[in-house]
């Protein structure tokens, strides 16, 4: 809620009221970010990439509410658009490194990869450059990570970088805005 919804989605909507929002999430994982975004009721086109989707035996045990919506998100077909009211979901089964999906047009990037110490390849400059290139002018890149190298990389790409107070248990987070 704090990183992706408050400092991503809500911050973008505040500056762009009434518009359909195009979101790209790096790491579908448990589906929590997609669920929280869908629950806002806002008109959203949501694309998410995941190389290792969770098995039903795992996601069916998650204690997220409403679980029926979470189930629908997980059961949505891969690599095809799926509509749930005004929430349009496209889950891409691929690695970010091999995906050629990123065209300009995303208003928000939820960069929810594991920490650089756990998944260093996800935080290399060519990957950050690839996702930032897909942002619209004024688009937001939000992540839990607050490493100095990430901030330097974002700045070198012409992004305005903010270090914000992190969620409970995390001192800081980063939001970049494409100029």
Give the model confidence (pLDDT) of 1-46 as tens digits. Answer: 999 999 999 999 999 999 999 999 999 999 999 999 999 999 999 9
Cβ neighbour number for residue 38 with a 10 Å cutoff: 23
Domain ranges of the chain: 2-178
Of the CATH numbers 1.10.260.40, 3.40.50.150, 3.50.50.60, 3.40.1190.20, which one belongs to the domain with range 2-178? 3.40.50.150
151 pLDDT above the threshold of 70: yes
The helix/strand/coil state of 164 is strand
**What mean pLDDT is reported for the chain?**
94
Using 50, 70 and 90 to split pLDDT, how confident is the model at 66?
confident
Q: What is the DSSP string of 98-155?
A: T-----S-EEEEEE-PPPTTT-GGGGSHHHHHHHHHTEEEEEEEEES---HHHHHHHH
Q: Is the pLDDT of residue 106 over 80?
A: yes
Cα separation of 131 and 128, whole Å? Answer: 5
CA–CA dist 46, 34 (Å, integer) = 8
* 26 in Cβ contact with 110 (< 8 Å): yes
Give the pair of three-digit tokens for residue 176.
């970049």
Task: Report pTM.
Answer: 0.95
């Amino acid at each position: 809620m704090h990183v992706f919804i408050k400092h991503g989605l809500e911050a973008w909507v505040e500056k762009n009221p009434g518009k359909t929002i195009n979101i790209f999430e790096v790491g579908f994982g448990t589906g929590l970010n997609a669920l929280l975004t869908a629950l806002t009721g806002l008109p959203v086109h949501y694309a998410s990439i995941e190389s290792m989707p969770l098995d039903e035996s795992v996601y069916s045990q998650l204690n997220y509410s409403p679980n029926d919506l979470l189930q629908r998100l997980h059961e949505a077909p891969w690599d095809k658009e799926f509509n749930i009211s005004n929430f349009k979901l496209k889950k891409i089964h691929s690695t970010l490194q091999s995906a050629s999906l990123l065209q300009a047009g995303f208003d928000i990037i939820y960069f929810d990869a594991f920490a650089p110490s756990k998944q260093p390849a996800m935080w290399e400059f060519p990957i950050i450059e690839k996702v930032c290139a897909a942002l619209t002018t004024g688009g937001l890149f939000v992540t839990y990570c607050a490493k100095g190298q990430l901030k330097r990389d974002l700045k070198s790409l012409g992004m305005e970088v903010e270090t914000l107070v992190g969620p409970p248990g995390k001192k800081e987070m980063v939001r970049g805005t494409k100029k």
